Amino acid sequence: MELIKAYAEEIALNIDGNLDLNELKQLIEKPKYEEQGDLAFPCFLLAKILKKSPNEIAKDLSKKITNPLFGKVVAEGPYLNCFLNRKIVGKEMIKSILKAGENYGSLEIGNGKNVVIDFSSPNIAKPFSMGHLRSTVIGNSLSNIVEKCGYIPIRINHLGDWGTQFGKLIVAYKRWGNEKSVKQNTIKELLNLYVKFHEEAEHNPSLENDARLWFKKLEDGDEEAYKLWKWFRDESLKEFSKIYELLDVFFDSYQGEAFYNDKMKETIDTLNGIGLLSHSEGAEVVDLKEFDLPPCLIKKSDGATLYATRDLTAAIYRQKQYQFEKALYIVGHEQSLHFKQVFLVLEKMGYDWAKGLVHVPFGFILKDGKKMSTRKGKVVLLEEVIKEAIDLAQKNIEIKNPNLENKKGIAKIVGVGAIIFHDLKNERQNNVEFSLKEMLTFEGATGPYVQYTHARACSILRKGNDKANTSNLMGLDDPHSWTVIKSLMEFPNVVEKSFKQLEPSQIAKYLINLSQDFNKYYSHVKILIPDGQQQCRLALVKSVTLVLKEGLRLLGLKAPDKM
Ligand code: ARG
């Protein structure tokens, strides 16, 4: 039910077509204070058209609006304020939520157009870092949000599977590595080899040259180099998949940097053809002085291509492939300059669609105020962190609800949910302090708190034998249910805001508020007593479970019925 539209329609009936419905809708606002009502219509524009005072118009209109939905309509100076009839609105609201089910809050902004979401994108043969975790969690949620808004999300994992580091890795593997240990412990072993390469190269500089040669061989399609590279890639992906499985995240494409290998020549030729390439110290660059930015490096003096060359090529390829309206790059803010350069080069190439490219940056994950690093042996292996969260969640369950069925499954949902929610509840640009203990509490602004609220609501429904049908709802008039109903009413707006700002935190914060409102309601109102309103109360509880579950889904969390 769209209250603003309904109010606008009511006003439209009484102003002789002097403003159309859309204009009216735009004008309607929320009064500053709750005592002033639920909706306000300022009469200034109408006053100009009708050459009457706005106060007079407000007074006039207040007498003419008789729809019972708007319980009381009063003129307050130049404003036409209305107080909704809570019983009717609540009833209609609950009806429409139950009817829409999980589609409640879905919007039609996207009209089925494609949005590419480039996220997660870890680097082969390196640990999956905390930054990649953030990108995975934020990107997954934004994919869901975009879809909720009527777009088709294309989830792309732009794997870091190309670059000079593979030359180093091949050299190190051939000298010090063996198949068995790589198979047993891929990322740890490959990282060790990588670290060893750098240590050795310090007193044996010829290694760097070997590495360059091997990378050149790889780029030229040498069989041995290619086989090793492919093997490193496959083994690394196997390990990353374990993390994706735990987080329940999937991708439509794993076309990473290597995929663009044979496509970069065309990009470079195009750049050359339109005279955008210039030489700088042996390298080929696109000059960006006019934007006060350093040049974008396209080709090194030895002919090797770069990260930016691959991103330019990837964007062009994806536009051809998907005709995206928007392409979001979920990458930490330390790469802001890179994306600025890439987007500007594409604009200079004359691509109109470059306007739809958006870098969606985020902050660091901190431990005791310091950046959590995966480099230099201080590796925090993500898979272990996630498993620890699941273990802790399981211990919690053993204490709180030892007879719960499927404890293992629920522990996974809660442990993983805790990590995801903890990341998403803050605006993405902020840094996040990592604390398993804090994430996993059932109180406060955590994933388990929202999940637990949902499970509690489900348990009430079970006790009420799911009598939440809508055929004969009476409506509710106590202040606690009104608070919950108002909160439910907000959901579509929250979805829209989270999409416009590309901020899952909007939804996370909303879910905390709704949970708090519901828990207050639960502690003040007896839901299960069999009076005339029981069915309606149960229908309200059911609406709450629907919205909590759908909100959690948008963030990438599951909502078990029992906890
Ligand atoms: N692999 C890169 C890194 O770990 C992130 C890639 C992001 N996506 C992109 N299209 N550049 O830093």
Classify residue 77 as left (phi > 0), alpha (psi -120 to 50) or beta. Answer: left
Closest-CA residue to 296 (of 339, 257, 328, 263) = 339
Residue of 335, 345, 364, 373 best suited for mutating to test ligand 1, as the one with most atoms within 8 Å of CB: 335
The rounded distance, in Å, linking the Cα atoms of 128 and 20 is: 55
Helix, strand, coil in percent for the chain, rounding step 5 = 60, 10, 30
Closest-CA residue to 458 (of 543, 561, 343, 355) = 561
* Distance in Å, CA 177 to ligand 1 centroid: 27
The rounded distance, in Å, linking the Cα atoms of 21 and 8 is: 6
CA 129 to ligand 1: nearest atom: 4
* Distance in Å, CA 372 to ligand 1 centroid: 18
Structure confidence at residue 437 as a pLDDT band (50, 70, 90)? confident
Given strand 370-371, what is the order of strands in its sheet?
Answer: 370-371, 365-367, 432-433
Closest-CA residue to 255 (of 314, 312, 342) = 314
Reported as a single tens digit per residue, the pLDDT across 337-376 is: 999 999 999 999 999 999 999 999 999 988 888 887 654 4
Structure confidence at residue 19 as a pLDDT band (50, 70, 90)? very high
CA distances from 134 to 120, 141, 246, 325, 331 (A): 8, 11, 15, 24, 9
CA 160 to ligand 1: nearest atom: 1
Supply the pLDDT for residue 385.
86
Q: Residue 51 pLDDT more than 50? A: yes
Supply the pLDDT for residue 112.
98
* Distance in Å, CA 158 to ligand 1 centroid: 6
The rounded distance, in Å, linking the Cα atoms of 85 and 94 is: 14
CA 335 to ligand 1: nearest atom: 12
CB-based contacts of 169, cutoff 8 Å, min separation 6: 125, 190, 193, 194, 197, 228, 232
CA 331 to ligand 1: nearest atom: 7
The H or E element spanning position 83 is strand 79-83
The rounded distance, in Å, linking the Cα atoms of 325 and 315 is: 12
CA 311 to ligand 1: nearest atom: 10
* Distance in Å, CA 263 to ligand 1 centroid: 18
β-strands 370-371, 357-360: how paired? unpaired
User: Please, are residues 451 and 459 in contact by the beta-carbon 8 Å criterion?
Assistant: no
Torsion of CA 517, 521, 524, 530, to 10 degrees: 180
Q: Ligand 1, atom 5: nearest CA belongs to which residue?
A: 121
* Distance in Å, CA 157 to ligand 1 centroid: 9
Strand extents, DSSP E, 288-372: 296-299, 326-330, 357-360, 365-367, 370-371
Q: Residue 286 pLDDT more than 60? A: yes
CB-based contacts of 491, cutoff 8 Å, min separation 6: 104, 105, 510, 547, 551
Rg (CA), the chain: 29
* Distance in Å, CA 254 to ligand 1 centroid: 12
* Distance in Å, CA 243 to ligand 1 centroid: 18
* Distance in Å, CA 122 to ligand 1 centroid: 7
* Distance in Å, CA 394 to ligand 1 centroid: 34
Q: Which residues' Cβ are closer than 6 Å to ligand 1?
A: 118, 121, 123, 158, 160, 311, 329, 331
* Distance in Å, CA 184 to ligand 1 centroid: 27
* Distance in Å, CA 330 to ligand 1 centroid: 9
Q: Residue 549 pLDDT more than 70? A: yes
3-class DSSP state of 539: helix
* Distance in Å, CA 560 to ligand 1 centroid: 34
Q: Ligand 1, atom 8: nearest CA belongs to which residue?
A: 158
Closest-CA residue to 451 (of 393, 505, 503) = 393
CA 123 to ligand 1: nearest atom: 1
Q: Ligand 1, atom 1: nearest CA belongs to which residue?
A: 160
Q: Ligand 1, atom 11: nearest CA belongs to which residue?
A: 311
Closest-CA residue to 219 (of 163, 138, 150) = 163
Reported as a single tens digit per residue, the pLDDT across 483-522 is: 999 999 999 999 999 999 999 999 999 999 999 999 999 9
Residue of 158, 257, 259, 341 best suited for mutating to test ligand 1, as the one with most atoms within 8 Å of CB: 158
The percentage of residues in the chain with a pLDDT greater than 70, rounded to a whole number, is 97
Q: Ligand 1, atom 6: nearest CA belongs to which residue?
A: 121
Closest-CA residue to 442 (of 408, 392, 384, 483) = 392
Structure confidence at residue 172 as a pLDDT band (50, 70, 90)? very high
pTM of the model: 0.93
The rounded distance, in Å, linking the Cα atoms of 17 and 493 is: 28
Q: Ligand 1, atom 9: nearest CA belongs to which residue?
A: 158
Q: Average pLDDT of the chain?
A: 93
